[in-house]
Structure 1
């Protein structure tokens, strides 16, 4: 390696360092608005922040599920049921999943002729509106080991509307 090669490597390193320092300086000018050398920072934009941080933030009150269900709209629930149609039917026949005719109030894992997972079959209990709400939020969390691959319905209003729809179909 001759001296010229060494000078090229040294020059490249110094040049890269200057570019790095220059980018830092100019980005500081852009985001800080050019001030800051006199000890006071002048920002390019300001964000209004309430005093007290999270302590003063009002927490959203949870509405009891029974109240949400009482106000639920079965017509909206029918639209939500579109996500369920791929695996479930309402006419009393099983598909990939068990039929949902009369599901509200039915024992968990009790549809005749459907091959439930061991977790679902041994769960016990009844499909109350509250149990359906918890199950539909995250099926795999509510009954670990279930074969139901559906991720769940995030919005509690969607779950309430769906359960109201299932109840209305059940009554027919």
Structure 2
């Protein structure tokens, strides 16, 4: 059997080992983790000017109505592929979203058999080419709280092609 002295030696050895491990950890942190690194930046931020392509320059300089007048209907039909999951072109054919038959010139939120979100119901005015352009750029910015789950069309030419296609297809 073990007497009290043996138990004291075992517990003392365990405490001593623990103390040595803690001292090693503290020493390693002092050597490798300097507190002044918390406040230094590891990388430097460089501001880079964004290059504007020739197409983007032309889009910026060309009025949007002119882009619509010179739009490519076949490309507009292709862009409408993003819309047709929710919208229909036929008169009175609502999908998840309202039909887009004769959208240009139509009053906003006027289709009686479609349930608009509350943010849409408060809109007044007509869907002009310029209004559609603003809306299609980013719907959630144009109408805060809209239920329409669409990020928008970033390129002005895509928006112009789509609007021209909608105008031509629903005459």
Aligning the two structures, in what range does the TM-score lie when normalised by the shorter sequence?
Answer: 0.5 to 0.7
Per the alignment, residue 141 of structure 1 pairs with: 141
Structure 2 counterpart of 1:83: 82
Paired residues of 2:89 and 2:101 also in contact (CA < 8 A): yes
Q: Distance in 1 between matches of 2:153 and 2:61?
A: 17
Aligned residue in 1 for 2:5: none
- CA spacing shift, 1:120–1:5, aligned 2, 3 Å: same
| Contact 2:119/2:146, CA 8 A, preserved across alignment | yes
Report the CA distance between 1:121 and its aligned residue.
1.7
Partner of 1:9: 24
Deviation beyond 3 Å, 4+ runs, structure 1: 57-62
The answer on whether the counterparts of 2:90 and 2:170 sit within 8 Å (CA) in structure 1 is no
Q: Which runs of 5+ in 2 are unaligned?
A: 1-15, 33-47
Instruction: Report the Cα offset of residue 9 of structure 1.
Output: 2.1
**Residue 13 of structure 1: how far off its partner (Å):** 2.6
When the two chains are superposed, the root-mean-square deviation of aligned CA atoms in Å is 3.1
Count of aligned pairs between the two proteins = 135
Q: Using the TM superposition, name which of 143-152 and 79-88 deviates more.
A: 143-152
What's the counterpart of residue 64 of structure 1? Answer: 63
Q: Distance in 2 between matches of 1:170 and 1:73?
A: 16
Match in the other structure for 1:104: 104
TM-score scaled by length of structure 2: 0.67
8 Å contact 2:104–2:129 — kept in the other structure? yes
1:112-167 superposed Cα distances (whole Å, 9 cap, x missing partner) = 21111222122111011110010011111111122211111111111110001001
Cα distance in 2, alignment partners of residues 76 and 112 from structure 1: 31
Q: Which has the higher contact order (CA 8 A, sep 6+)?
A: 2
Residue 122 of structure 1 is matched in structure 2 by: 122
1 CA distance for matches of 2:121 and 2:28? Answer: 68
Larger Rg over CA atoms: 2
